Structure 1
Amino acid sequence: MNKSQIFDDHFSREIQLKNEKIQIWLEHSLFTWQWWFGVIVLLLSILIWLKFRNKNSTDRLLYSGFFVVICASILDILGHNLGFFHYHYEVFPLTANYLPWSIIVIPVIVMFFLQYKPNANPFIKSVIFSALLSFIGLPLLSFIGIYHIVKWNYFYSFIILIIIYLIAHFLVQRDNFDKIT
């Protein structure tokens, strides 16, 4: 078998597994209470953000928020693909991450923390934020059957989320924006 056939064979198996995942999602996940939980968390987080964000700082907060979305999504996908953890009851079946968590909940909470008491010590805020998500949020997702740890520890998430928050804080403080002319 030549190299091209090896890659093609692997691709075919991936497609077959993705089709199986969609079938499992349709039969065992879609419209379950856990699936509705994800949909409601996703929508409520967006609505709460739109209602309570600091409207004068929206662009600046979104700048940091998009950084958090990218980091959280990439790390979530890596953790899933490396077999550290996986999710059941995804809102969308073709993702390797739990979208309500990585693209909505984490960034929205970061943006609220950034806008609340912006002059407070960012390290203390990062520890509080990280502790809430790592030691309350993730165990809650685990308890309701959405998040499944294989070879991971909540403490790893705690450290990673502190770093993500501190970088987001650094980004939201930047003043190096000139208008595009």
Structure 2
Amino acid sequence: MRLHDESRNTEHFYQQVAQINEKYFEFWREHTFLQWEWWLSVGLSIIPWIIWWKYINKKSTARYMSAAFFIIIISSWLDFFGVVNGLWYYSGIVIPTIPSYVPWDLCLIPVTMTLFMQFKPHVSSIKKAIVYASLVAFVGEPVFDWIGLYEIVNWKHIYSFPIYAIIYLTADWITKRKSFGPVQ
């Protein structure tokens, strides 16, 4: 009988989550959808991929797409973790679902990171990771905070620096695998 009681308690929490999500969707529809923040976020969801397609080395597309998918999965999960744990939240979201902020997790981070990897490939990956992480943590995040799309609750930009550096180094490692040879 104990398992049945736990199941009922779990169901109660999921019902509460569903009710909150429904209220948030109504709030989003009335206060975010089609507002300037929403349009900016839509643009930040589309334009980076157009730029990526124009400038990515077409001979290495599979390498960079593999890295981009890795970046998307990790950044979306970490972003979701931060939002649900009250570390930060977003306004102007494109759709009120997971991932928390589509332009950041699915577009800006994977596009800029993979293009940065492609730029000056002879430069040390560690140096590039430090530069990239610095730019995103100390310029990108503060700009999003300043324009009101990213609200820090219990976080500091310095905490983001090692996370971006590790994601960069791991994704860069993925792009350099020799397993991207021809299909046999």
With structure 1 as the length reference, what TM-score do the two structures score? Answer: 0.95
Residue 180 of structure 1 and its aligned partner are, at CA, apart by: 5.2
Matched, 1:40 2:36: no
Could you list the runs of 5+ residues in structure 1 that have no partner in the other structure? none
| Equivalent in the alignment of 1:134 | 137
RMSD between aligned residues: 1.4
Residue 178 of structure 1 and its aligned partner are, at CA, apart by: 5.4
- Percent pairwise identity: 33
| Equivalent in the alignment of 1:18 | 21
| Equivalent in the alignment of 1:91 | 94
Contact 1:81 1:96 in 2 (8 A): no
Residue 4 of structure 1 and its aligned partner are, at CA, apart by: 2.0
- Partner residue of 1:152 out of 151, 155, 172: 155
C-alpha distance in structure 1 between counterparts of 2:115 and 2:99, whole Å: 26
| Equivalent in the alignment of 1:112 | 115
Residue 177 of structure 1 and its aligned partner are, at CA, apart by: 3.9
| Equivalent in the alignment of 2:70 | 67
With structure 2 as the length reference, what TM-score do the two structures score? Answer: 0.94
What SS does the aligned partner of 1:90 have?
coil
C-alpha distance in structure 2 between counterparts of 1:33 and 1:48, whole Å: 22
Could you give the per-residue CA deviations for residues 79-98 of structure 1, whole angstroms, max 9, x where no partner exists?
11111111111101122511
| Equivalent in the alignment of 2:171 | 168
C-alpha distance in structure 1 between counterparts of 2:92 and 2:157, whole Å: 20
Which amino acid is the alignment partner of residue 160 of structure 2? Answer: S
Structure 1 residue runs of 4+, over 6 Å off?
Answer: none
Could you list the runs of 5+ residues in structure 2 that have no partner in the other structure? none
| Equivalent in the alignment of 2:85 | 82
Which amino acid is the alignment partner of residue 30 of structure 1? Answer: F
Count of residue correspondences: 181
Matched, 1:50 2:36: no
Residue 124 of structure 1 and its aligned partner are, at CA, apart by: 1.2
Which amino acid is the alignment partner of residue 139 of structure 1? Answer: P
Distance change (3 Å), C-alpha of 1:180 and 1:51? closer
